[in-house]
Amino acid sequence: MQSSYELVMGLETHVRVKSETKMFCSCKNALELSDEANVHVCDFCMGFPGALPVLSDAVASLGVRAGLAMKCTINQKSVFDRKSYFYPDLPAGFQITQLYHPIATHWEVSAFVGTKLQTFRIARMHLETDAGKLIHAGKTLVDYNRASSPLMEIVTEPDFRSRDEVLAYLEELQKLLRFVDASDADMEKWQLRCDVNISIRKTGETHFNNRVELKNLNSFSAIGRAIDTEFHRQIAIVQAGWVVEQETRGWDDDRGMSAPQRSKEDAMDYRYFPEPDLTPLILSDEYIAARAVTDRPIERRVRYLDEYGLLSDDARILSRDRETSDYFERLVALTGDPKKSCSYITTVLFSLMEASQTHRSMAENPVSAEALARVIDLVNRDEISSTNSKVVVERLFTGWWEPDAIIDELGLRQNNDTEMLADIAMKIIANHPEQVADYKNGNEKVFGFLVGQCMKASKWQGNPKAFNEILLSKLS
């Protein structure tokens, strides 16, 4: 009777900040995983005594941007704390984090779950250092490239009731962080890691039960599988008359199951205290105002739906990243025609990109918005047919840059000379007596054939609308 139980979930997401350098030293912040081991290290991030931390401006700035993107309150004063524990990937023996006074607190991220717009509350966001990486290869090796590189930890309230809500939030969070350039948030590169806290309760209950913290989730699909599996595991425990234990479990995606990782986190004494080598981070009103985020991908998506009347899938695709969305908006500004702008991007341009080896993303798109706007304008003014407009865009995609030059070069300009088109139509009628008779006997399908013959005879330059009208009047 699993339908009588509901999931209650809260997420703790760690995101790698996209700064040039690490959080407190000038070592490179290695955002790719491919660098040689232990090349981005110095006295500070190796934990040698005497080396002092200096907070990176970029980390603070991107932290503020990310916090504002999530509509959080940025705290004018935040404080760094030392969290002490021993582990070989942590050379200093402590992590620098923000426990009591985080940089951002409250408020929310909105996301579409299917077609429904929902809001999930953010409890807090703080800045903290990452640890190094252990490599187990017979003996254990350590790579400190990542040690002391900057992370944001984003903690939500327990607002999630289904796997789809979790995935919708994470996808939106990823888009949002990319949009403000605070992180590439790429899970495969370990730039985004998410722990899911899960409990269950009987539908209708309002209290919270013991939760399990699931770790080691390496992809969105693994998160989905882990949630489903944990839901059923907890239901089985409760139905057997037991109580779910509050614990941390590690997800093993290959085996499709989780196993206990360590006992309650609270059991460990991290001996938190304010980091003595750093002053509090103080941010002025002006500093925060200068990093305001006015426009989020979700807001663009809603605008494309409500103001432009686009289909839900189109609105989603066109707001998926900043390059695509900016391009679309520039095109709309030039054409005043959101629907045609949408269709030229999502059908014509995207299929060219898919087929291309070298220009696969909007950032590499060689067709300027101005050129595409000119093409749409020419179609709207009947100067080229919509079929031929695709040929023009294909040429633009291969590096030509002047739509009108392409049209003249290839002879694609549409012929709107009604006298000339009428001559062609009369010839076609004269040459196809059988089909004409057929049409007059009520077979309307033949009409399309006759228009096609006219188009062919005009070398595809005749205006098909004009041919339609001429044929209609001659045949009635």
Question: Would you count residue 199 as binding ligand ADP (CB under 6 A)?
Answer: yes
- CA nearest to 130, candidates 64, 214, 40, 196: 40
Give the type of residue at 357: Q
Question: What residue 391 binds from Zn ion, ligand ADP, none (CB within 5 to 8 A, per partner kind)?
Answer: none
Question: Would you count residue 95 as binding ligand ADP (CB under 6 A)?
Answer: no
Question: Would you count residue 102 as binding ligand ADP (CB under 6 A)?
Answer: no
Question: What residue 10 binds from ligand ADP, Zn ion, none (CB within 5 to 8 A, per partner kind)?
Answer: ligand ADP
**Which is nearer to ligand ADP, 122 or 396 (by Cβ)?**
122
**Dihedrals φ, ψ of 279, to 5°?**
-85, 160
Buried b or exposed e, range 298-324, using 16+ CB within 10 angstroms: bebbbbbbeebebeeebbbbbbbbbeb
Residues 155, 187, 235, 334: which binds ligand ADP (CB under 6 A)?
155
Question: Would you count residue 11 as binding ligand ADP (CB under 6 A)?
Answer: yes
The site for Zn ion, by CB under 5 A, has a size of 5
CA distance linking residue 256 with residue 259, whole number of Å:
10
Nearest distance, CB of residue 10 and ligand ADP, angstroms:
2
Which window, 191-199, 280-288, 357-365, 462-470, contacts ligand ADP (CB under 6 A)? Answer: 191-199
Beta strands in 300-380 (DSSP E): none
**Which is nearer to Zn ion, 27 or 59 (by Cβ)?**
27
What is the contact mask toward Zn ion in residues 39 to 58, using x (rule: CB under 5 A)? Answer: ---x-xx-------------
Question: Would you count residue 99 as binding ligand ADP (CB under 6 A)?
Answer: no
CA distance linking residue 182 with residue 245, whole number of Å:
37
Residues 12, 186, 247, 253: which binds ligand ADP (CB under 6 A)?
12
Question: Would you count residue 176 as binding ligand ADP (CB under 6 A)?
Answer: no
3-state secondary structure of 273: strand
Question: What residue 45 binds from Zn ion, ligand ADP, none (CB within 5 to 8 A, per partner kind)?
Answer: Zn ion
- CA nearest to 205, candidates 161, 155, 157, 156: 161
Question: Would you count residue 464 as binding ligand ADP (CB under 6 A)?
Answer: no
Query: For the chain, what's the residue count?
Result: 476
Which window, 32-40, 194-202, 277-285, 390-398, contacts ligand ADP (CB under 6 A)? Answer: 194-202
Contact positions toward Zn ion, by CB under 5 A?
Answer: 25, 27, 42, 44-45
